[in-house]
Structure 1
Amino acid sequence: MYPEFNHSIPRRKFIGDLSKTAAGLAVLGWQPGHLSLTVQQVMDLVLKEGNLSRIADTVDTLKTGHAAQPVTGIITTMFPTINVIQEAIKHKANFIIAHEPAFYNHKDDKGWVKDNGVLRQKLAMIDKHQIVIWRFHDYCHALQPDAVSYGVARKAGWERYYKTGQLSLTIPAISLKQLAQHLKTSLGISQVRVIGDLAQSCTRIALMPGAWGGQRQVNAVETEKPDVLIVGELSEWETAEYIRDANLLGQKKGLIVLGHSVSEEPGMEYFAEWLRPKLPGIKVTHVSSNDPFTWL
């Protein structure tokens, strides 16, 4: 399913008005605090401004709340964790736009595990504070450039090397060890996992934040021929073993595993920046869901 569109307002007129500058909106009578936009209108705006075609079979649906609900503020994040929900409440923001699931499985099936006590408590908090959660995954990756990969490249200082639609980018030569340290520092990650010769020189990078799956990760190495593959997460018995064997066979193939949440967070941070000027009457705040792991 994809988000329903509120046809009570002529879509073309509404979007045309919203896409004007703040000054133009003032002329139209839209002043901050004078007009409440609904969740549906915000979703409508995102698709229009992003030049996004509606996706028929997408997970990007409302997970809680209602499309007609007026928006008091927006939080962007990776995972809508309890901490993120509490921050939304603190900011008096009732609309969370999250890249990943709220309920621990891809389709946010609330019956995925029966009698899930954690899920019940989370839903109670969401219902009490009337929080709307919209998953923004497929549409986020459909933006040009892909908000996630571009957000990561930008935060790593690789904007000049990034090319929309390409997995690989070429950076000045750096050792695998130095590259891992650079990613930790620039992306604010406490620990990363690495396979390969730490002294090997890396210039060609395959950048795959998030969870692409073993088949696509291995295929990227075979077709893109990178010096190093950078991923969010992986199946250890698939991609990690492939990279290990490649090195044992004499190939110089590095692997850096960042962690799923922290690897895509820069994308939702960038999305918040993309969205703010398009909604001058609504406060848009990015709240990081952070790394769930404590490293010992």
Structure 2
Amino acid sequence: MSTNNYPFQLGQDQSRRKFIYNFTKAAGVATLLTSPVISHADSFFVPPAPVTVGEVMDMFINQVPGAPFNSTVDTLKAGNRDIQVTGIVTTMFATIEVIRKSIALGANFIIAHEPTFYNHQDQTAWLANDEVYRYKADLLQQHNIAVWRNHDYIHSINPDGVRMGLLKQLGWQSYYNPVATNVLMLPTTSLSSLIDHLKQKLFIDKVRYIGDLKQNCQKILLMPGAAGGTRQIQAMGKEKPDVLICGEIQEWETAEYVRDAQAKGQKLSLIVLGHIASEEPGSEFMANWLKEKLPGMKITHLLSNNSLSFL
């Protein structure tokens, strides 16, 4: 195995939290009052100002260039805009487990990055008689919980909120290039050390990869989520990276391109993180943004975790 000359202090965060920002302070803001009659300042807790689901949505949408969009998947999947918010949960998927945890937290607004009902548009007519769908929809209705998908908008702020959340968790913010947002020039490291860093920072047990573990990597093409084979291949052809780090792939597209590139003699590797692992930091980015805008509101980021296990 190659010598680890990786510059990011691998393993330093291994003992830190396995669950990120599961609970946040729910206390109000301390305020000091002065009076000509009183010689000392008294402090008290101020509850958060009432805010509705629609107001929270608009608060974020209003910072997005060109918003609101005429066509978007970022719609309410449950509840309505007029619900008064008691607490907010951000997550990748509004799973039944996440919904139950939200109920326990007293949160009635879930902001998810991905679909709630198993298809991109969250169309539900085809699920009308499905018992799993009905259980989930009824659970949300019974507890008057609103679910908003924030996918197109968070990807459209400048810079992309999901990308910045991922870079922050990886400790790579200083390598961000606003001109070529998906290209990073890192200090040279081996593919093996790069994989170790990704696994430790993103809490991944295993990744899929193509390449020589001893290969030196410096130019990184970072494409979280599911960009699609055409975009991934075109980006590799244009940027000529040492390695593509992505969320997910079609095995018969991107992986075959990388395999043929290597057979041709090209120095090109591939690391597949998994869609959830690559974009989960975006939901944490959203939680932190909300905490700044809504002081006193109880805001929690819940990991939805990977639905798949690996042997």
Give TM-score, length-normalised by structure 1: 0.87
Q: Secondary structure at the match of 1:150?
A: helix
Q: Secondary structure at the match of 1:68?
A: coil
Does 2:99 match 1:108?
no
Number of the residue aligned with 2:279 = 264
Q: Secondary structure at the match of 1:275?
A: helix
Distance 1:125 1:215 in 2: 39
Matches within 5 A, 1:195-210: 195-210=210-225
Aligned AA for 1:293?
L
Which of 121, 131, 148 is the matching residue for 1:117? 131
Number of the residue aligned with 2:52 = 38
Residue-by-residue CA offset, 1:162-207 (whole Å, 9 max, x unaligned): 1236110110111111111100001111111111111111101111
Which of 290, 293, 296 is the matching residue for 2:308? 293
Aligned AA for 1:110?
T
Shift of 1:116: 2.2
Aligned AA for 1:90?
A
Q: Secondary structure at the match of 1:75?
A: strand
Shift of 1:74: 0.5
Number of the residue aligned with 2:193 = 178
Does 2:106 match 1:92?
yes
Number of the residue aligned with 1:213 = 228
Shift of 1:112: 3.9
Matches within 5 A, 1:150-161: 150-161=164-175
Identity, in percent, stands at 50
Distance 2:63 2:282 in 1: 17
Distance 2:241 2:126 in 1: 38
- Cα–Cα, structure 1 residues 148 and 190, in superposed 2: closer, same or farther, change >3 Å? same
State whether residues 151 and 270 of structure 1, in contact with CA within 8 Å, keep that contact through their aligned partners in structure 2. Answer: yes
- Cα–Cα, structure 1 residues 34 and 273, in superposed 2: closer, same or farther, change >3 Å? closer
State whether residues 30 and 46 of structure 2, in contact with CA within 8 Å, keep that contact through their aligned partners in structure 1. Answer: no
Number of the residue aligned with 1:131 = 145
- Cα–Cα, structure 1 residues 114 and 252, in superposed 2: closer, same or farther, change >3 Å? farther
Residue-by-residue CA offset, 1:188-228 (whole Å, 9 max, x unaligned): 11111111111111101111110111111111101111111
- Cα–Cα, structure 1 residues 197 and 112, in superposed 2: closer, same or farther, change >3 Å? farther
Q: Secondary structure at the match of 2:188?
A: strand
Distance 1:73 1:223 in 2: 45
Distance 1:212 1:144 in 2: 18
State whether residues 197 and 252 of structure 1, in contact with CA within 8 Å, keep that contact through their aligned partners in structure 2. Answer: no
Number of the residue aligned with 1:253 = 268
Distance 2:250 2:168 in 1: 27
Residue-by-residue CA offset, 1:232-258 (whole Å, 9 max, x unaligned): 111101111111111111111111111
Residue-by-residue CA offset, 1:135-163 (whole Å, 9 max, x unaligned): 00000001121111111111111110012
Q: Secondary structure at the match of 2:69?
A: coil
Aligned residues: 270
Which of 214, 227, 241 is the matching residue for 1:226? 241
Distance 1:95 1:46 in 2: 14
Does 2:154 match 1:145?
no
State whether residues 99 and 135 of structure 1, in contact with CA within 8 Å, keep that contact through their aligned partners in structure 2. Answer: yes
Give TM-score, length-normalised by structure 2: 0.83
Unaligned runs of 5+ in 2: 1-28, 34-44
Aligned AA for 1:75?
V
State whether residues 105 and 112 of structure 1, in contact with CA within 8 Å, keep that contact through their aligned partners in structure 2. Answer: no
- Stretch of structure 1 that moved more, 160-169 or 201-210: 160-169
